[in-house]
Structure 1
């Protein structure tokens, strides 16, 4: 995947700004630093982000590396990942992202995360073990298909073994870790 520069820097800026703001909000939510009004504002922002990404997908297909550059492609993935209130959109985004991966215009790890998220939102078992629940007493994997072959499936999409991924997430959310450092996706490991 090589890029000279994004074809649409305007879309890139918009996607990055939206995803950055949402990630900061999720980090504060994770640390229980938001009141009810702020929580509602976050939900509204997620809906607005979904609407913007829906428009971009309709006009351009998946906003991959060639169209918006790697950082904005990651931002688009993050927005799709957090479009939980619109599972039909999330499944459609997964299909478009898969096409972009096949065209060498997006990361397969992003597709694996979005695929798992869409499965979990349909109340099905995830494939790659990317979706986690952050509980008061620790981290738990969401329901998983064929756990005995999980690391083999993860390797096919360039993800580390599940033990390594879980340790990374545990460190990220350890007591004393600053909320400002937690701008990563709340319920997924870093891709």
Structure 2
């Protein structure tokens, strides 16, 4: 994928700002630093971001590297990834992101993460082992289809073996970093 100047720089800035605000909120939530009011505000932010991304998808298809640049394309992916309260939208975004991957306008790893997240939010087992649950007692991988062949599937989407990815996640989310009153479960991603 070549880096291009975004065709729509204003849209790129909006996506980046929205995703950054949501990511900061999720980091505070994972560390148990939010009260009930702030948790609700975070859900409102995710809903608003989903609505904005829905409008963008309707007007422009997937906002890939050519349209908004790599940073904003990553922001759009993050917004879609965290649209857990709207499973049909998440599935539709997965389809559009898949098309962008096919024409070289988005990374296949983003598609694999979103595909897994859409499966999990629809009550199904994930394919690539990219989704996990963070809780005060540790980290658990979300249910996985055919765990014995996950590394083969991960290789097809340029992801490292699951053991290496989980080791990296465990370093990033050490349980000693979680507050004792942290949320019971937070859905997160494995690299």
Q: When the two structures are superposed, what TM-score results if normalisation uses the length of structure 1?
A: 0.93
Match of 2:72 in 1: 72
Match of 1:156 in 2: 156
1:91-110 paired onto structure 2 within 5 Å: 91-110=91-110
Check conservation: 2:32, 2:178, Cα contact below 8 A.
Answer: no
Does residue 122 of structure 1 match 2:118? no
Check conservation: 1:129, 1:150, Cα contact below 8 A.
Answer: yes
Check conservation: 1:30, 1:186, Cα contact below 8 A.
Answer: no
Match of 1:30 in 2: 30
For the residues of structure 2 that align with 1:96 and 1:4, how far apart are their CA atoms? 20
Q: CA deviation at 1:175?
A: 4.8
For the residues of structure 1 that align with 2:172 and 2:14, how far apart are their CA atoms? 27
Dislocated runs of 4+, deviation >4 Å: 175-179
Q: CA deviation at 1:139?
A: 1.1
The CA RMSD over aligned residues, in Å, is 1.6
For the residues of structure 1 that align with 2:155 and 2:99, how far apart are their CA atoms? 20
Q: CA deviation at 1:4?
A: 2.5
Match of 2:132 in 1: 132
Aligned residues: 185
Check conservation: 1:97, 1:111, Cα contact below 8 A.
Answer: yes
Give the secondary-structure state (helix, strand or coil) at the position aligned to 1:123.
coil
After superposition, the Cα gap between the structure-2 partners of 1:175 and 1:132, relative to the gap in structure 1 and judged at 3 Å, is closer
Q: When the two structures are superposed, what TM-score results if normalisation uses the length of structure 2?
A: 0.93
For the residues of structure 2 that align with 1:131 and 1:113, how far apart are their CA atoms? 7
For the residues of structure 1 that align with 2:137 and 2:42, how far apart are their CA atoms? 25
Structure 1 runs not aligned, ≥5 long:
180-184
Deviations 1:4-43 (A, max 9, x none): 3110111100000000000000000000101111000000
Deviations 1:74-119 (A, max 9, x none): 0000000000000000000000000000010000000000000000
